[in-house]
Structure 1
Amino acid sequence: MTQWEELLRRNLIQGRLSQLYERKFPRHIRHSLCLCLESQDWDLAALDENKARACFHALLMYLDEQWNHSLQDNNFFPGPDFLGMKDYLVKHFQDEPLNLAVILSECLQEEKKVLASASEKQGCGSPAVQQKWKELDRGVNELKRQTLEVKKEVKSLELLNENLDYVQKTWQNKVEQDSGLAQSNAAVKEGCLKQANFIMQTKEMVLQQIVDILNQAEQIVAALTDVELPEWKRRQQLACIGGPVDTSLDHLEEWFTAVADVLIQVNQELQKLQDQSKKYNSPDASSFPRETENFTLSLLTKLLANALVVDKQPIMSSLPQRPQILKTGVRFTAAVRFLTNLPEFKCQLKVKPVFDKDVEETTTVNGYRHFDFTSDNSKVLDVDRPDGGLVAEFAHMTLKESKARPKGSCESHLGVTEELHIIKFVTELQFAGLSYNIEASSLPVIVISSTSQIPSAWASVMWCNMLSTSEPRNLSLFVDPPPLTWQQLSQVLSWQFLSVGQRGLDEDQLSMLRDKIVDNPDGIIHWNKFSKNESVWIWIDGILDLIKRHLVDLWQDGYIMGFVSRETTRDLLKEKLGPF
């Protein structure tokens, strides 16, 4: 797997990497030429013009080869524009191949840093998290081992039953044909009885093994659905507002898939035991423990009901760093993933997005806007990504406002950018004789009608994501918005500068901001103070926009002090000699 594919697989091409490619090099060329680009030594080329020129010509030759291959394939759908990429490289770098080498060296090094940072967060987190994940790994591996043992025992039982049945039937025929064997009949019957008792005891032992597996599986399912999955959703929520956290689903997908596979295999072995009891008229056939099968299916149901997640929150391509803001009539994308990635489920799940499904505010709040999708966006989950995930990507969704607005039972004082909505992704699965209704909900989204509403909408997204930490989400949050502590707000503000300028705020900058924003001695900031009446956020957002447009390099390198009070400015000017 190339470095670029690894970044895609782990959903890391965002934030500082996304901005880097916006400024330095076309992202679509990096994507299409990932293998060729990474096969060249751009670090060395950045120091040697001859090497840089050789690497440049190697790229052009590769593009020519790919163009010729595309002509020979005669694909109906157009592929990458290799000629367009070649024209771009020739136009911008033919006379300055060293410049290309410097740019690509910087980009590839930055990618390595992002991967290393993500790996550190994932693999070298707190000792408690590490220990918890190791225990889950051990628990899942133990389930798989015990399930293999059960399968061997069930197969052994089948052979024992076959042998006993054969002896009983053939011996009876021999006795009927030869009366001289009648005196041996009692001994044979006694042997058969002993064998039947042994089979019964073995079966009871296997059933107990299955119960032990299910008891362990129950604990792991609870850990996955009640602890690990909510924690991942919280990390994703923070990542949406710039938090430098790991949102990889690798561990969860591995655990969900393994445990579901164990439960499916256990259910199959239970069916085999039941079939054996009926086939060989076992004395315990009527008392077969149906509750064990029901227990298995209940665990599987809980796992599958939680397996659908919103892998990529709704986002417009024009606002790559500000998800959860949608504009009517403008295309946006989202993606869902089914964590139980088994072959049995491939192409079996058709997912449909539904706007504001089961949202009380649509009927109880007067003036609450109603929206619909402009077309049917249903997708079938399929394995069509480099990481092999069971994913459906909704790449062409748009919203329109419904004309009818039913009146509710109370008045709404919410502004457009305070009105929270959700998108639910629903599907139905038929499996193991049961029907599963499965759904996953997006984080709250805000629907705007004008780009001028983006700053206020983003303030609402940040406030909501910091406060609404569990499901179901509180879509009436801004009817009476709770305050944030300075610790919470300072963290999310620093993330904004990290996302835009690749450097967060230091303690001095945060201290100045605190003096400007916080009036309350308890360090509490109210929503009205931040975004409504005094519009502190609009001022900060203007600074972020200035950095993004003109000052990224200077901000990243620390040449801009940023937030400095008048008093500090005077002191600094007095300390330094010069005409200014």
Structure 2
Amino acid sequence: MAQWFQLQQLDSKYLEQVDQLYDDTFPMEIRQYLSAWIESHDWDMVATSVSLAAVRFHDLLAQLDIQYSRFALENNFLLQHNIRKIKRNLQDAEHEIKSLEDLQDEYDFKKKTLQSRGTVGVSHSVASLVLVSFNSLGLGHKTRLFILVTVEVPEWKHRQQIACIGGPPNACLDQLQIWFTAVAEGLQQVRQQLKKLQELEQKYTYENDPITQGKRALEERALTLFKYLIVNSIVVERQPCMPTHPQRPMVLKTGVQFTVKIRLLVKLQEFNYQLKVKAVFDKVRKFNILGTNTKVMNMEESNGSLAAEFRHLGPLIVMEELHSISFETQLCQPGLQVELETMSLPIVVISNISQMPSAWASVMWYNMLTSESKDLTFFLSPPQATWSQLSKVLSWQFSSVTKRGLNDEQLSMLGDKLLGREAAGNPNGLIPWTKFCKNVNEKSFPFWLWIEGILDLIKRHLLCLWNDGCIMGFVSKEREKALLKDKEPGTFLLRFSESSREGAITFTWVEDVHFHAVEPYTKKELAAVSFPDILRNYKVMAAENIPENPLRYLYPNIPKDSAFTRYYSRPTEAAEPMELESASEAGYIKTELISVSEVHPSRLQDAMLPMSPEVYGELTRIINPDEIENVVGYSQTAPDTHTD
């Protein structure tokens, strides 16, 4: 392994020489992957012993089997190896043609002096050998083409779909372009060599000449394969996307410019500056209609005419209406004309940015559930998603805009919310489109819009806290009580409100046997005061009207200031001499916004009985006298301060 590592440090020109030492019999990749095993044996000794060499040979085969099973991308490895083999075969075919040309020249010379059947026989055998080689090359190219077009490209397109909705980044197209170009160059070389054979045929031919009989079929096969490769080599490298929303591709707003990138995977010099691409919006568009759209024409009794009346029809809503952009071009060369076309993934066009969340839900649902790029009627009858599919996509929405996705605990809470507790643990539980993105009833709001509101809240006000794992976020009230009940008084956790469509965050803390949750903070409050400052300055009016901060430990046991000090706002720096006078210099007292909760009844009980006149007077100043009796009789199992 050390020797191979040292070789990799050489300059590129020496590495090319190293590459030339290996061929298809023993590819350089084998030397690389088995370097540790190869360098662990004394091959000088192996070379002197036939029996030891046989043992090492079988060991090598075993190592190859082991390594083959480890390849995560074995198809790619084999494809690279096969393309190199094609190039080597092409070089062999070119050498055979050169030999045939030499024999032809020799034959022309000898023909003038004597008729040599032997030479004719040799020419005949070489020509047959060349045609056999070309047939073998044609079959090899066909196999590689099939792998590229039907396996590699569809897999790349599927990875692109996943990347577009927040999944892992898609591998770049450079490797696919290398493979496509290698096969295209090979096919072009075959066509050129067939032209050379035609020139030889014009010099000399004879009855049952294999070149004359087989050349036409070979030319047609090479041309067909080349066209097939070119037609399938044009792809949409980057899907349509507005620059203002780079993480929400395939959602376009009317009147806003967008970008899209097309790429031809065959990189040949003769194609430069020849292809002019035309973009067409909704080339084969048929707008969708909800309701019964087919009826039989019946005879009307009133006038005897044949008629059919359609009722209760309606179009899909804008956010479910899918569109597409087609890209067309034409490749024209002598003896070759190819029409090329590719299509973007379905896009959603909106007229107002407020439609973005619902439009993005449509894009996610489509690309999560289908790889068919032309199914523009998808939302006439949208399929259901399994929880295993949707949970990944939900986590991607967070990891794509922050540094942290959703963990199993958070996803479990969301699964409960969508499927109910009975089915939440089932990865195959089905979620319909309507439950994900539409109002179930008038009192609720769509699940996705709730998630979207929380995402926006995090991006605007909570990004650092979320990235550092300070926010538990998605936890039910029952679960938070189970987590806090055995903790030190003052232990608190941060979670998102379930009753706020726009996104809100709250905190719950434990005090003895009681749990308290503060009213959720929305974007409006967080725009005025940062959430870490709210946690630092939060106060509860305790007995004797003394405010105190009940928050001591971030769950599970992190001191509050240790967790949030780096997020607290810094004191305002001293003003420069030339700056305007500060508030204090102008005669004003500085103020600071803090959050204060009213007295908790559970806190007052221990201090209220017996009650002195002074305490009673202070209590009536804070609480309505009519409510004092209720407060005094407050149960030890007091409810939460807030029900959210």
The normalised TM-score by structure 2 is 0.59
Whole-angstrom distance in 2 between the partners of 1:542 and 1:319: 16
Query: 1:477 matched to which residue of 2?
Result: 378
Whole-angstrom distance in 2 between the partners of 1:410 and 1:208: 67
Shift of 1:286: 4.3
Q: Are residue 294 (structure 1) and residue 294 (structure 2) matched?
A: no
Shift of 1:280: 2.4
Shift of 1:156: 2.0
Query: 1:414 matched to which residue of 2?
Result: 316
Query: 1:55 matched to which residue of 2?
Result: none
Whole-angstrom distance in 2 between the partners of 1:212 and 1:572: 69
**Alignment of structure 1 residues 174-189 onto 2, 5 Å:** 188-189=114-115
- CA separation of 1:126 and 1:467: change in aligned 2, threshold 3 A: farther
Shift of 1:455: 0.2
Query: 1:464 matched to which residue of 2?
Result: 366
Aligned partners of 1:240 and 1:323 also within 8 Å: yes
Whole-angstrom distance in 2 between the partners of 1:207 and 1:219: 19
Query: 1:517 matched to which residue of 2?
Result: 418
Q: Are residue 144 (structure 1) and residue 56 (structure 2) matched?
A: no
- CA separation of 1:223 and 1:152: change in aligned 2, threshold 3 A: same
Structure 2, unaligned runs of 5 or more: 1-66, 292-309, 441-445, 491-549, 552-644
Q: Match of 2:418, as an amino acid?
A: I
Q: Are residue 508 (structure 1) and residue 420 (structure 2) matched?
A: no
- CA separation of 1:339 and 1:287: change in aligned 2, threshold 3 A: same
Shift of 1:358: 2.5
Query: 1:532 matched to which residue of 2?
Result: 438
- CA separation of 1:276 and 1:309: change in aligned 2, threshold 3 A: same
Query: 1:314 matched to which residue of 2?
Result: 240
- CA separation of 1:126 and 1:323: change in aligned 2, threshold 3 A: farther
1:268-288 Cα offsets, whole Å, 9 max, x none, are 111211221122244426424
Aligned partners of 2:289 and 2:316 also within 8 Å: no
1:404-456 Cα offsets, whole Å, 9 max, x none, are xxxx9994441100000111111111135121111111111000110000000
Shift of 1:126: 9.4
1:500 is paired with a residue whose SS is: coil
Whole-angstrom distance in 2 between the partners of 1:410 and 1:240: 36
Query: 1:577 matched to which residue of 2?
Result: 489
Query: 1:328 matched to which residue of 2?
Result: 254
Q: Are residue 153 (structure 1) and residue 59 (structure 2) matched?
A: no
Shift of 1:239: 0.2
Q: Are residue 559 (structure 1) and residue 470 (structure 2) matched?
A: yes
1:449-469 Cα offsets, whole Å, 9 max, x none, are 100000000000000001121
Query: 2:273 matched to which residue of 1?
Result: 347
Aligned partners of 2:290 and 2:380 also within 8 Å: no
- CA separation of 1:541 and 1:126: change in aligned 2, threshold 3 A: farther
Shift of 1:200: 1.3
Aligned partners of 2:148 and 2:180 also within 8 Å: yes
Whole-angstrom distance in 2 between the partners of 1:153 and 1:548: 66
Q: Which structure ranks higher in relative contact order (CA pairs < 8 Å, sequence separation ≥ 6)?
A: 1
Query: 2:354 matched to which residue of 1?
Result: 452
Q: Match of 2:433, as an amino acid?
A: W
Query: 2:109 matched to which residue of 1?
Result: 166
Query: 1:197 matched to which residue of 2?
Result: 121
**Pick from 206, 212, 221: which aligns with 2:130?**
206
Whole-angstrom distance in 2 between the partners of 1:351 and 1:526: 40
1:150-193 Cα offsets, whole Å, 9 max, x none, are 11111221222122113324x3xxxxxxxxxxxxxxxx31x2x2
Whole-angstrom distance in 2 between the partners of 1:572 and 1:288: 80
Aligned partners of 2:384 and 2:433 also within 8 Å: yes
The normalised TM-score by structure 1 is 0.65
Whole-angstrom distance in 1 between the partners of 2:345 and 2:68: 25
Whole-angstrom distance in 1 between the partners of 2:69 and 2:103: 51
- CA separation of 1:274 and 1:288: change in aligned 2, threshold 3 A: farther
Aligned partners of 1:455 and 1:538 also within 8 Å: yes
Whole-angstrom distance in 2 between the partners of 1:228 and 1:409: 47
**Pick from 256, 263, 268: which aligns with 2:192?**
268
- CA separation of 1:470 and 1:566: change in aligned 2, threshold 3 A: same
Shift of 1:129: 4.1
- CA separation of 1:409 and 1:214: change in aligned 2, threshold 3 A: farther
Shift of 1:294: 1.1
Whole-angstrom distance in 2 between the partners of 1:199 and 1:548: 76
Query: 2:453 matched to which residue of 1?
Result: 542
Whole-angstrom distance in 2 between the partners of 1:531 and 1:352: 36
Whole-angstrom distance in 2 between the partners of 1:411 and 1:330: 31
Query: 1:491 matched to which residue of 2?
Result: 392
Structure 1, unaligned runs of 5 or more: 1-123, 172-187, 368-407
**Alignment of structure 1 residues 96-107 onto 2, 5 Å:** none
Shift of 1:240: 0.2
Q: Match of 2:80, as an amino acid?
A: D
Q: Which has the higher mean CA deviation after the structures are superposed, 220-229 or 271-280?
A: 271-280
Q: Match of 2:320, as an amino acid?
A: E
Aligned partners of 1:366 and 1:409 also within 8 Å: no
Whole-angstrom distance in 1 between the partners of 2:349 and 2:340: 25
Query: 1:86 matched to which residue of 2?
Result: none
Higher helix share: 1
Whole-angstrom distance in 1 between the partners of 2:314 and 2:134: 55
Aligned partners of 1:353 and 1:424 also within 8 Å: yes
Shift of 1:350: 0.9
Shift of 1:227: 0.5
1:461-491 Cα offsets, whole Å, 9 max, x none, are 00000112134x2111111110100011100
Kindly tell me the number of residue pairs found equivalent between the two proteins: 395
- CA separation of 1:409 and 1:198: change in aligned 2, threshold 3 A: farther
Whole-angstrom distance in 1 between the partners of 2:68 and 2:469: 28
1:350 is paired with a residue whose SS is: coil
Query: 2:558 matched to which residue of 1?
Result: none
Q: Match of 1:216, as an amino acid?
A: G
- CA separation of 1:295 and 1:410: change in aligned 2, threshold 3 A: farther
Q: Match of 1:320, as an amino acid?
A: P
Aligned partners of 1:324 and 1:461 also within 8 Å: yes
Q: Match of 1:351, as an amino acid?
A: V
Whole-angstrom distance in 1 between the partners of 2:448 and 2:68: 32
2:401 is paired with a residue whose SS is: helix
- CA separation of 1:127 and 1:466: change in aligned 2, threshold 3 A: farther
Q: Match of 2:463, as an amino acid?
A: V
**Pick from 327, 333, 347: which aligns with 1:425?**
327
1:471-527 Cα offsets, whole Å, 9 max, x none, are 4x2111111110100011100000000011121100000000000112484611111
Aligned partners of 1:494 and 1:504 also within 8 Å: yes
2:244 is paired with a residue whose SS is: coil
- CA separation of 1:156 and 1:523: change in aligned 2, threshold 3 A: same
State the identity as a percent. 46
Query: 1:9 matched to which residue of 2?
Result: none
Aligned partners of 1:413 and 1:479 also within 8 Å: no
Whole-angstrom distance in 2 between the partners of 1:570 and 1:289: 82
Whole-angstrom distance in 2 between the partners of 1:308 and 1:211: 28
Q: Are residue 219 (structure 1) and residue 143 (structure 2) matched?
A: yes
Larger radius of gyration: 2
Whole-angstrom distance in 2 between the partners of 1:466 and 1:499: 16
